[in-house]
Amino acid sequence: MNMPQLIYALDSAIDSFFAEAGSASSREECDQFASQQFGGTIQPVSIQGLSSYTVIAGSDSDKIIQFREQAALLDMKMLAIAKHVHKDLVPDCSAVGWIGKNNSQPLAIYEMNRLPGENYITIRASLTSDQQRNTIYSLAKYGILYRCLLLLGTLLTKKTVQLFRPILAEMLKFKCS
């Protein structure tokens, strides 16, 4: 499976985020906040999201600081569920606050611990077709399970959900082949 080669310019992506977000803050203000609050050399991650500006911070470069548009806030309850299910594969995350001037579009600030490993998008070209297919199947499986859990959570009592917890844990261990 050949993946198309894309041209990506980090600084252009960052500039586009701040220009299109209608943000009350700038890259410089976000970098300054991250530096003052978390220390270390502030370095943007190599691939930026469309709705956020993300940097590496901390004296040991062990923190991820993300500045997100109001329309793209993180679902802290969902992150807590993901952390409970996947343990060390999901970073600890906390909402830090907001940055921006009054009467404008402030950005939400999140702090996460930096996990080891590579970003999928940067290594996908080196994966075999089978590895790429298995990744897609695994992501789809968790997406379907997530929707089922949301439905169960709205339909069942807390006691019933607790009874199903061992079954759900086994479902999460299932591997697509």
Q: Write out pLDDT tens, residues 99-150.
A: 987 667 899 999 999 998 877 777 878 888 888 888 777 777 766 666 665 5
Residues 108 and 35 in one domain: yes
Residues 30 and 105 in one domain: yes
Are the C-beta atoms of 41 and 65 separated by less than 8 Å?
Answer: no
> Quick one: tokens of 66?
């993300």
pTM of the model: 0.72
CA-CA distance, 136 to 115, in Å (whole number)? 21
> Quick one: tokens of 91?
């970073």
Residues 37 and 84 in one domain: yes
Residues 57 and 24 in one domain: yes
Structure confidence at residue 123 (pLDDT)? 80
In a domain, 3, yes or no: no
Distance (Å) of CA 76 to CA 51, 91, 95, 110: 17, 12, 8, 10
In a domain, 1, yes or no: no
In degrees and rounded to multiples of 5, residue 96 shows phi and psi of -95, -35
In a domain, 73, yes or no: yes
CATH assignment at residue 75: 3.30.200
End position of a domain, from candidates 90, 117, 144:
117
Domain count, the chain: 2
Q: Write out pLDDT tens, residues 8-36.
A: 789 999 999 998 877 778 999 999 999 99
CA-CA distance, 6 to 4, in Å (whole number)? 6
Question: Which domain does 158 fall in, by range?
Answer: 127-173
In a domain, 4, yes or no: no
> Quick one: tokens of 115?
């996990």
Residues 136 and 112 in one domain: no
